[in-house]
């Protein structure tokens, strides 16, 4: 692993909430290509995080790990994968929500314990991480990172119990917030979800007769899995080779609180979430938006890629023709280049080109999935106007984001949220649209097809858990500077 390196601030950070993380776990009865299978699963989850990635494996006697900052294709090569041999593997692709984007915060975390090696990776964020970290320090533990994942690993290492399953069950009540985790022991892997079920996690049988778990079903489909189903809220699933045991430890008294933004933006459209096709729900979001906020226009264009299904739905419901208006450069991704002022000014033009032939002289409806920071929409609208559009109507397939998310999404302060600072009319003027409208919370839930069971805190301010003790994202970095 390279020395710890701070990832430069990305000049392409846009209006959407930043990605979360992705986890994967694989068991291979033959022990062949387990790390490679984990790599393929992570590759299907690359959209959930591009800052760092890692894979840990166990062969029944010892554990090995490789992790670093960057994209999967930069970190893993045939040479780096070759030493990662074993019967079980877990992996992680990271977007930082707790701790800075440094190699020391990359996951999985691998520690040696009195019970043998333990590796842990998780998607989510603990709202009581500050309290738990302080307790570990008072007990004399040495922490090397600023991630709540390390806190979770050390708590498990110190927990009582005969097996990792027992230690996990006794420790989970101490963790408040969002976590879908994978744990690697010497002869098994474990997948578990918090009692609220904030973040997704599913499991399926591999063609080799083993099992795999992943943040999204698209990764399990990539691995050729069958019998795919969700890890339930508060459930612990233990896999040893071909054997699997599962039991539910606890449920939240307030009921489930799945992340509604998984449907809006985070998940890949070919994934399923809560038994629903993400692609179909996004089309319904667009249909509902057309019902609530129609527009007199000539063409509907999406902001690629996640808004494409919603734009199809808006077009179908409204009768306004659908067409491409933006061409996205899919090779920009994240960058290690320190952005200059010129690059900041040109960042949207580097990421998107417009198609003037489809826009000139047209009244255009732009469909986007969210408007969080307000740093991209105005520039996109300017590109459309410069292409000759007569009118530009911006429609957002989610409600206004008025409150920070503390459950594993990188939008942790009110200062970041432009809708919390501007009223709708001022926001319309800021982005330069002729009209601007957001889908209602009720409309979003109607498109999802559920009246409850989802977290809508970023829209409503009604958090399923107490967030009064939440620490800023990089609050632990100062002590380790």
pLDDT band at 479 (very low <50, low <70, confident <90, very high): low
Q: What local confidence, expressed as pLDDT, does residue 399 receive?
A: 97
Q: How many angstroms separate the Cα of 391 from the Cα of each of 170, 303, 374, 412? A: 59, 17, 20, 34
Segment 190-204 mean pLDDT: 97
Q: How many angstroms separate the Cα of 161 from the Cα of each of 106, 112, 170, 386, 457? A: 28, 16, 8, 65, 36
Q: What local confidence, expressed as pLDDT, does residue 6 receive?
A: 35
Q: What local confidence, expressed as pLDDT, does residue 237 receive?
A: 98
pLDDT in tens, 54-72: 999 999 999 999 999 999 9
Is residue 478's pLDDT more than 60? Answer: no
Share of the chain above pLDDT 90, in %: 77
Is 21 in the active site? yes
pLDDT in tens, 231-257: 999 999 999 989 999 999 988 989 999
CA 333 to chain centre: 15
| Contact partners, residue 9, CB within 8 Å, separation at least 6 | 338, 339
The residue behind tokens 């970023």 is 458
Q: What local confidence, expressed as pLDDT, does residue 95 receive?
A: 76
Is residue 430's pLDDT more than 60? Answer: yes
On average, the pLDDT of the chain sits at 89
Is residue 2's pLDDT more than 60? Answer: no
Top mean-pLDDT range of 140-154, 267-281, 363-377, 414-428: 267-281
Q: Which CATH class is domain 21-254?
A: alpha beta
Active-site residue, selected from the candidate residues 21, 259, 405, 458:
21
Is residue 345's pLDDT more than 70? Answer: no
Between 439 and 11, the more confident residue is 439
Domain positions in the chain are 21-254, 272-460
pLDDT band at 342 (very low <50, low <70, confident <90, very high): low
Weakest mean pLDDT among 138-142, 370-374, 378-382? 370-374
Q: Provide the token pair at 69.
A: 């900052």
Is residue 336's pLDDT more than 50? Answer: no
Burial of 327 (0-12, 13-18, 19+ CB in 10 A): exposed
Is residue 458's pLDDT more than 60? Answer: yes
Helix 308-318 and helix 278-292, axial crossing angle in degrees, nearest 10: 40
Tell me the three-class secondary structure of the chain, residue by residue: CCCCCCCCCCCCCCCCCECCEEEEEEECCCCCCHHHHHHHHHHCCHHHCCCEEEEEEECCCCEEEEEEECCHHHHCCHHHHCCCCCCEEEEEEECCCCCCCCHHHCCCEEEEECCEEEEEEEEEEECCHHHHHHHHHHCCCCCCCCCHHHHHHHHHHHCCCCCHHHHHHHHHHHCCEEEEEEEECCCCEEEEECCCCCCCCEEEECCCCCEEEECCHHHHHHCCCEEEEECCCCEEEEEECCEEEEEECCCCCCCCCEECHHHHHHCCCCCEECCEEHHHHHHHHHHHHHHHCCCCCCEEEECCCCCHHHHHHHHHHHCCCECCCEEECCCCCCCCCCCCHHHHHHHHHHHEEECHHHHCCCEEEEEECCCCCCCCHHHHHHHHHHCCCCEEEEEECCCCCCCCECCCCEECCHHHCHHHHCCHHHHHHHHCCCEEEECCHHHHHHHHCCCCCEECHHHHCCCCCCCCCCCCCCCCCHHHC
- Fold equal for 21-254 and 272-460: no
Helix 148-158 and helix 164-171, axial crossing angle in degrees, nearest 10: 120
Between 347 and 304, the more confident residue is 304
Is residue 324's pLDDT more than 50? Answer: yes
| Contact partners, residue 98, CB within 8 Å, separation at least 6 | 125, 126, 129, 146, 147, 148, 149, 471, 473, 476
Q: Provide the token pair at 237.
A: 């699933």
pLDDT band at 270 (very low <50, low <70, confident <90, very high): very high
Q: What local confidence, expressed as pLDDT, does residue 168 receive?
A: 98
Is residue 8's pLDDT more than 50? Answer: no
CB 90 within 8 A of CB 24: yes
Is residue 116's pLDDT more than 70? Answer: yes
Between 340 and 334, the more confident residue is 340
Is residue 477's pLDDT more than 70? Answer: no
Segment 345-372 mean pLDDT: 90
272-460 folds as Rossmann fold (3.40.50)
């Amino acid at each position: 692993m390279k020395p710890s390196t701070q990832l430069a601030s990305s000049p392409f950070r846009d209006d959407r909430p930043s990605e979360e993380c992705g986890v994967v776990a694989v068991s291979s009865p033959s022990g062949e290509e387990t790390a490679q299978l984990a790599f393929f699963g992570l590759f299907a989850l690359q959209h959930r995080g591009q800052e760092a990635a890692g894979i840990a494996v166990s062969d029944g006697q010892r554990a090995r790990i490789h992790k670093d900052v960057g994209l999967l294709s930069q970190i893993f090569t045939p040479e780096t994968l070759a030493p990662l041999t074993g019967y079980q593997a877990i992996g992680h692709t990271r977007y930082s929500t707790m701790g800075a984007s440094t190699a020391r915060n990359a996951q999985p975390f691998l520690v040696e314990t009195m019970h043998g090696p333990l590796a842990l990776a998780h998607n989510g964020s603990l709202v009581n991480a500050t309290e738990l970290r302080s307790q570990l320090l008072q007990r004399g533990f040495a922490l090397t990172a600023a991630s709540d994942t390390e806190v979770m690993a050390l708590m498990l290492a110190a927990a009582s119990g005969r097996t990792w399953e027992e230690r996990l069950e006794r420790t989970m009540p101490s963790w408040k917030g969002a976590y879908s985790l994978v744990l690697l022991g010497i002869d098994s892997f474990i997948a578990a979800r918090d009692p609220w079920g904030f973040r997704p996690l599913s499991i399926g049988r591999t063609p080799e007769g083993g099992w795999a778990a992943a943040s999204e079903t698209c990764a399990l489909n990539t691995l050729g899995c069958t019998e795919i189903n969700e890890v339930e809220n508060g459930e612990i699933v233990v896999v040893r080779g071909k054997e699997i045991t599962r039991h539910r430890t606890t449920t939240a008294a307030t009921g489930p609180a799945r992340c509604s933004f998984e449907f809006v933006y985070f998940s890949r459209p070919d994934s399923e979430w809560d038994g629903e096709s993400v692609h179909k729900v996004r089309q319904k979001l667009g249909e509902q938006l057309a019902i609530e906020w129609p527009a007199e226009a000539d063409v509907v264009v999406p902001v690629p890629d996640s808004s494409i299904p919603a734009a199809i739905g808006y077009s179908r419901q409204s009768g306004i023709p659908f067409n491409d208006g933006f061409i996205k450069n899919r090779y920009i991704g994240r960058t290690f280049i320190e952005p200059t002022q010129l690059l900041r000014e040109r960042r949207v033009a580097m990421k998107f080109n417009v198609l003037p032939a489809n826009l000139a002289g047209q009244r255009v409806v732009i469909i986007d999935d969210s408007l969080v920071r307000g740093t991209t929409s105005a520039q996109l609208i300017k590109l459309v106007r410069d292409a000759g559009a007569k009118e530009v109507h911006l429609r957002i397939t989610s409600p206004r984001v008025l409150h920070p998310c503390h459950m594993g999404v990188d939008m942790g302060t009110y200062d970041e949220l432009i809708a919390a600072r501007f009223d709708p009319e001022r926001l319309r003027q800021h982005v330069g649209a002729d009209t601007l409208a957001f889908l209602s919370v009720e409309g979003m839930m109607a498109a999802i097809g559920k009246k409850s069971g989802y977290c809508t805190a970023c829209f409503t301010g009604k958090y399923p858990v107490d967030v009064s003790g939440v620490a800023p994202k990089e609050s632990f970095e100062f002590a380790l500077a």
